[in-house]
Amino acid sequence: MQAKETLFADLVQGRAQQFQVPLYQRTYSWTEKQLGQLWSDVLEQAELLESGDRASTHFLGSVVLAPSPQNEATFPRWLVVDGQQRLTTLSLALAAIRDHIADAKPDEAERIDEEYLINKRKGGSDHFRLLPTQADRPQFAAHVRGPLATQTAGGNVAAAYGFFRRKLVEADDPAAPQDVFRIEQAITSRLTLVAVTAERGDNVHRIFESLNNTGLKLSQADLLRNYLFMRLPTRGEHVYETYWLPLQESLSNDELEQLMWLQLVLDGDDRVRRQDLYAAQQHRFERREVTEAEIEAYIRELYRHSTLFRRLLHPQEEPDTAVRARLRRLDAWQAQVTYPALMLLLDRRERGELASSEAARAMSYIESFLVRRMICRVPTNNLNRVFQSVPGQLPTDVPVADGLHRLLSADNRFWPDDKELRDKIRTAPFYQYGRWHQRKMVLQRLEESYEHPEPLDFAAAQLTIEHVLPQSAGDEWMRMLAEDANAPDSAEDLHARLRHTLGNLTLTAVNSELSNHPFERKQGLLQGSHLEMNRRIAATERWGMREILARADEIADRATTLWPAPLRGVGRAERSRDWQLAHQVLAVLPHGTWTSYGDLAAFLGSGAQAVGSHMANTAGLTNAYRVLTSEGKVSDGFHWTSPDEGGDVRARLSADGVHFTVNGAADPAQRLTADDLALLVASGGDEQTDGEDTADGQGGQTRADRFFRQLAADDSPETVEAVRATFKGWEELGGWIGHGSGHTTTSAYLMLGEAGAPGRGIWPLTLYPGGGRGGTAEVVFQHLAAREPFTDRTLRAELLRRLNELEGVAIPEGKLELRPHIRLSLLEEDHNRKLLAETLAWFRERWESRDTL
């Protein structure tokens, strides 16, 4: 057996060879969680390459190889005993890079193919450098061979390839542009592997067990503590009792590690990674002979900084009122990324170089930077770099607060100005971006700006976000919108475009009462609200497009005052970010789906005509032909923008799994709405379930009572009884019913797992009252994709197959990564109710046997 450190390029490049994953190995199983971590490591290495740092590579893990029984002297074949997930993932990432650049740089695409993916002069299965398990081979081969239009949907292989295609489009974002060839270099020559090569007769499985039998690893803080006190032979006991022990008692081990990292950043090291903390600090101490006094001084400074750091973690410990308010808001925002800048401000104030009022002003710029970027949907992928660079880049020729204002206003920081902020408040689907607590905080700050004489206790009020124009609008709402619609916009287009914008959102503690009722009924409830913003809404006569846009303008006036603008005179790329988001979502349209210009426009916060114009004038846009009119027809103005494309659009759509009705329109069941598009690029869900069916302060009424009352207001008694029977059957299977909070209407979750432990369980369906259009059951495929054992796509596909056996249900395979809906009225049929009960029993059995699958 031989073990050596190597790189992916060194492992697979060179002469023709093949790495075979044995048939007994599990199929490819990496999900977005593992892919996201790898992508983060790749981007980090790409940034290090950009900075010229070629020393600090990233260790990816081990690969255990053994000679294949089909080995030939002229064509080496290796069995991949361990490491197939890593090799498959890296190969798919390179295939995605190849396809990303294929139109612009075909020679480079061919180079990537021949260097890493194929054996050019070999045919059949020997053509591929990596040969996955038999179950994964068709999909893997399809992505290596291409073209994509001929591929079928399926599996984790396709999902991983789609993930990298999306991330490569995202990496072109002008807010944080990444050179795609630097990303390729990071993958092939900056991710180190330990290749363990066995000889014939070696027990490769024992090698695998030994490599994976690791104990509890020491943290970076543990390593650095041991190093420091080994260097204190005479002062160690005093330093430990005086500084280290109080420090260790005031912070957790993880917090202490973070503080040590922040101290390096404050000293100007804007490239150090937290996982390299120990090595970086050790290197600083060993550049020269360091005395015990210097080691003690470092620990004493760490101890001093710990008091400041605790104020970031626990803002109530901050003595100054204005600074405390700023810290509380940033803590509520969960803005840990800003800690380097905040620590610098508190440290300068501690040293007497900054007054508390100036520290609070500087923090207002940080808050504005975050809030404006969130409202304007600027990606967050460069925030770490922005704030880590603050201590080293802060101007020294102006006061600290002014210097921070100038630094964050630099043209590569993308801090939206007043014009862009106003535009996005009017048009962007605010409800679909950022995290739920951030959206709530924006609305809370807007309410506070009215300076009510009796301020509301927001912590105790349990407010949630309410759509005034409902998410599911009934006929009366649609008639009102029709009055505002001008061709080519329809009432449906206006509803999709306006419902999630800031002008249509407010805070309330009576979401269930407001629900989806007509505006006249909502007016009375809003008029009695303690919130000024609600009383202003109630004072209007109607609630259509004009009123929503007028309120958006009022909000914009307050927002530009609340959150200071960047300094003028810097160049911006405002609109390109919106189109970047369009390119990103189009690149990952699932097989067998299409969307409309109106849906894409509502997702972007734009207009359908602007979307059509952009697509008609942008060459090489992936999946542009899968954007159709709202009727499912190819637009009269559609044309191919690249000479390499062409042919019949319907034929291309059919090859992509899109079906057509008898009148020649694309199947409406395969259409992705604006909400579906948002799910495709969502970073996580905001599901909130509560395990206890407790009274919620509304006359002792439980959430279950509210759910069935809302359901009965819209559905027939037969549907309500069918849902009750379904709940009873689920509880007999050992499940329980959870109810959501923070939604416009109440909801019910069919839960498995520990009751009362939100986030730990699993659920196949979420049921919602209809609000005028009939109740629905949401099939949460997207949620299941991150929960064992349903990370296995074949299990999710089986769930879809079983649900499609219900009469009236036809969920297309293209929605297997989304959250399609089923009408609850279908459960009135005994046959459907029986099939659903069997499906739920199957689901429970799969979950309970998850550790043995």
Q: Which helix (H) or strand (E) holds 63?
A: strand 58-67
> What is the per-residue pLDDT for 47?
86
**Tokens standing for residue 47:** 């940034």
> What is the per-residue pLDDT for 568?
83
Phi, psi of 635 (to 5 degrees): -60, 140
**Tokens standing for residue 235:** 């002062």
Q: What angle do CA 155, 674, 663 make, to 5 degrees?
A: 85
Whole-angstrom distance, CA of residue 361 vs CA of residue 402: 9
So where are the chain's domains?
2-212, 220-418, 432-546, 574-680, 689-848
**Tokens standing for residue 146:** 């291409």
Residue by residue, DSSP assigns 579-621 as HHHHHHHHHTPPTT-EEEHHHHHHHHTS-HHHHHHHHHT-TT-
Q: Which helix (H) or strand (E) holds 782?
A: helix 781-784
> What is the per-residue pLDDT for 135?
77
| 79 within 8 A of 68, measured Cβ to Cβ | yes
| 474 within 8 A of 774, measured Cβ to Cβ | no
- Residue 308's region, left for phi above 0, alpha for psi from -120 to 50, else beta, is alpha
| 366 within 8 A of 422, measured Cβ to Cβ | no
> What SS3 state is found at 396?
coil
Q: What angle do CA 307, 311, 314 make, to 5 degrees?
A: 120
State the pTM of this model.
Answer: 0.73
pLDDT digits (tens, 9 = 90+) for 717-752: 999 999 999 999 999 999 999 887 644 467 899 999
Residues shown for the chain: 853
Residue 147, preceding bond cis, omega within 30 degrees?
Answer: yes
Residue 668 has what DSSP assignment?
G
Write down the residue that tokens 């509380």 correspond to: 328
> What is the per-residue pLDDT for 569?
67
| 460 within 8 A of 504, measured Cβ to Cβ | no
Whole-angstrom distance, CA of residue 489 vs CA of residue 496: 11
> What is the per-residue pLDDT for 578?
61
**Tokens standing for residue 781:** 């495929």
| 137 within 8 A of 130, measured Cβ to Cβ | no
> What SS3 state is found at 729?
helix
Residue by residue, DSSP assigns 409-435 as TSTTT----HHHHHHHHHHS-GGGSS-
Nearest to residue 173, comparing CAs of 570, 572, 576? 576
Phi, psi of 695 (to 5 degrees): -65, 145
Residue 819 CB contacts under 8 Å (≥ 6 apart), including other chains: 676, 679, 778, 779, 780, 781, 782, 783
Whole-angstrom distance, CA of residue 131 vs CA of residue 726: 46
**Tokens standing for residue 473:** 């609008």
Whole-angstrom distance, CA of residue 331 vs CA of residue 338: 10
- What is the fold of 574-680? Arc Repressor Mutant, subunit A (1.10.10)
> What is the per-residue pLDDT for 772?
63
Radius of gyration of the chain (CA): 29
Strand order through the sheet with 748-751? 689-690, 736-740, 748-751, 765-768, 776-779, 821-823
Residue by residue, DSSP assigns 742-773 as SSSS--EEEEBSSTT-TTSSB-SEEEE--TTS
Residue 643, preceding bond cis, omega within 30 degrees?
Answer: no
**Residues of the chain scoring pLDDT < 70:** 1, 23-25, 55, 147-154, 174-177, 201-218, 454, 510-516, 569-578, 643-644, 682-701, 741-745, 754-760, 771-772, 851-853
**Tokens standing for residue 475:** 């006929």
Nearest to residue 203, comparing CAs of 350, 27, 403, 66? 66
| 372 within 8 A of 438, measured Cβ to Cβ | no
**Tokens standing for residue 690:** 């509560």
| 516 within 8 A of 470, measured Cβ to Cβ | yes
Whole-angstrom distance, CA of residue 519 vs CA of residue 358: 45
Residue 304 CB contacts under 8 Å (≥ 6 apart), including other chains: 350
**Tokens standing for residue 828:** 């009135």
Whole-angstrom distance, CA of residue 823 vs CA of residue 770: 9
Residue 200 CB contacts under 8 Å (≥ 6 apart), including other chains: 66, 67
pLDDT digits (tens, 9 = 90+) for 537-558: 999 999 999 999 999 999 999 9
| 731 within 8 A of 839, measured Cβ to Cβ | no
Nearest to residue 786, comparing CAs of 254, 29, 217? 29
| 846 within 8 A of 789, measured Cβ to Cβ | yes
Whole-angstrom distance, CA of residue 411 vs CA of residue 388: 17
Nearest to residue 31, comparing CAs of 131, 162, 129, 146? 162
